[in-house]
Structure 1
């Protein structure tokens, strides 16, 4: 994955356009939610978890790139995140609001195909 191509460059230095990251992260989350899931109020702590496989230093100071795997279907996602981001106190259902802060981006792809069934 060529992460450096995902962000605009200027004079050889990497720059991140916050509006682009917010739009990408928001679009990615909406695309990943099952139909009607946005209207459901599931407790955050009860949602299924992906598996963190690796973590790398990000292209900018105090950022990381994380590789996550969905244990249900093997989908691989790379997240680009700041190490910390301010947010509101948790709501009763466990969600927080990040406001207008840029909290990162996500890129997902199918995992490797399942092994072929053995011939009998």
Structure 2
């Protein structure tokens, strides 16, 4: 990894962690697009996943008394179903198509948030 790549990844991680701690979500939504500017999508997925787990675990421990348990259970079930599917897609789809899909997903999520729509 070059120094420039490291700087891009570090900025992405610190920015995303800041948003995660303030808003309670958004680590991967912010970190992934920025990291993929300098490193391969597959590497960005691993880095984002590992660091996202750390920030989420910290929040879970410190804010557990304020958690909405039914929502947490639904989110966890969705994650357990989605992770194996995501792993298969990560191993089968080309880096170019992963970048395209990531870009479209971020644009759709941004549009939904801008219109205050929810998929929940």
TM-score bracket relative to the smaller structure: under 0.3
Structure with greater helix percent: 2
* Structure number with larger C-alpha Rg: 1
What is the TM-score when the length of structure 2 is the normalising length? 0.27
